[in-house]
Amino acid sequence: MKLPPPPPHVELDLTPIPPAASPALVVLVSRTSAGEAARPDGLSERTLAQLHAATADGEFDARPGQLLLLHGTTSDGIRRTLLVGIGTGSTLAPETLRRAAAQATRRLRQAGIGDWHLRLPANLPASCPPDIAAQAITEGILLAGYAFTAYRSGADQARAAPLGAVTLWASDAAQAAAWRRGVVRGQTVGDAAWLARDLCHLPGNALTPQRFAEVALDIAQTSGLRAEVLATEELARLGMGGLLGVAAGSRDGPRLAILEHAPPGTERQRPIVLVGKTVTFDSGGISLKAALDMEQMKADMTGGAAVLAAMRAAARTGLPRRVVALLAIVENMPDASAMRPGDILRMASGATVEVLNTDAEGRLILADALHYARRFEPACVIDIATLTGASAVVFGSAFNALFSSAPAYAARMEQAGALSGERLWPMPLAQAYAERLHSEVADLRNVAGPQGAMLVAAAFLQQFAAGMPWLHLDIYNTCWNTEAHPYLPKGATGAGTRLLTQFLLDLPADDPAGP
């Protein structure tokens, strides 16, 4: 399967000379303590005069996200100048810059402009140094420039100008190394997000379990990752009743894809193991979902897509840390041979599970993958899954849930969430939730009613991660957008991709945090 092309590269221009004859220049404008737009250095007299007039008329005061598009060619040959407010400079945060760059990208694309320059801000506060600022801006541009057009044809293919040549310009090159480091990081994260979104947007008839496994192998081969895929016969030998049971109603058998990044000298490290729920389409099985919005269930493999994209980023950047990925790949369909409510599955761990709801399938396949992770003696195992609709009730789309038995790694993941804009909220793991999983006929049951459903699901997974440092990320509530966001499209968002990529990029080679 041929995936859509990756995003263009954002370039960096470190010269004191303004860009010549650019179709548009984006200027990030901060706000003074008096509540007025500041006067950025390096702009033409004409642009400064227009800014002054807009400020005097109360049309622009540089509040975060405020836009003002100025027309007319300046003496520098710039045809349009887009001013974007970023608020008070002393409180500037990476998310503000990410959103500002994204809003500029969306506005210019709507105006039919794909090629442009952005002036990097000067006098950054300590809370947002140049490398972090450049990364956030680059991410904002790439994330907002994304469009899935693989199935559009003719004139309908481009509903807005495609993202073209975007150059970041800084008149002061004193921070050149930091700017470059940030742009490279931002490009890495943006590339990962585009890959994950492309995978999540592919329909279920195109991205079957077999084809997802093939994509994983192709990416591994081109990125220098070691990889193998276990299919039905091998999974049966391993006793993976969760994977086999969920896949029983599909024409495509289950797969477990194993990818490994182990640069020379890291082969003996205890790895970070990433486990991704990869349900290429989830009908709910016999416990059939409602028809309304079921098409969104092609994105029920977002966890696996995020893991695969983060692994490619780790390989491409030469991450000096051993990382293993496990992708539990299935399709959940209501065939005559499908798993039924009341069935009992024997998992790879030997535990038996009474299936009360076939739509609670993600935890069944993750249970087998978590058990398989033990053979790697991981420093930490991290599963990520579109696991429970209850997460949307609790958080809306503002946060993702974080469950943890590894405090040091949880702290690192929260930091990655703050930097990436994919914020996390720590949730409890309590015996009271595990007790609700008691079954009269098996070791466990897979659901326990609607109350505390997100926490009960995490307690189920905890039974299979016991004894390992473990994090669980529930991303169901952020995997699909019904409305456009400054840098998240309608439809599949690729949730968790930026979070995992940031987490991996920030891992120290010797991992002093330990388990």
Q: Which of 119, 298, 363, 445 is catalytic?
A: 363
Q: What sign has the CA pseudo-torsion 341, 342, 345, 349?
A: positive
Neighbours of 450 (CB within 10 A): 10
Which pairing describes strands 470-474 and 400-404: parallel, antiparallel, or unpaired? antiparallel
466 Rama sector, left if φ>0, alpha if ψ -120 to 50, beta otherwise: beta
CA 24 to chain CA centroid, Å, is 29
Residues contacting residue 326 through CB under 8 Å, at least 6 positions apart: 256, 257, 258, 273, 274, 275, 276, 369, 372, 373
CB 367 within 8 A of CB 461: yes
Residue written as tokens 């503002």? Answer: 398
The token pair at 440 is 């009269």
Indicate the burial class of 127 (C-beta count within 10 angstroms; 0-12, 13-18, 19 or more).
Answer: exposed
CA distance 43 to 33: 21
The token pair at 87 is 């608020």
Q: Which of 180, 181, 289, 316 is catalytic?
A: 289
Task: Please report the DSSP string for 423-437 in residue order.
Answer: -EEE----HHHHHTT
Active site residue 363: yes
Q: State the virtual CA torsion across 291, 295, 301, 303 in degrees, nearest 10.
A: -90
Neighbours of 415 (CB within 10 A): 14
Residues contacting residue 222 through CB under 8 Å, at least 6 positions apart: none
CA distance 349 to 374: 10
CB 27 within 8 A of CB 119: yes
Determine the residue type at 427.
M
Element (H, E) at 82: strand 80-88
CA distance 298 to 181: 35
CA distance 415 to 373: 25
The set of catalytic residues is 289, 363
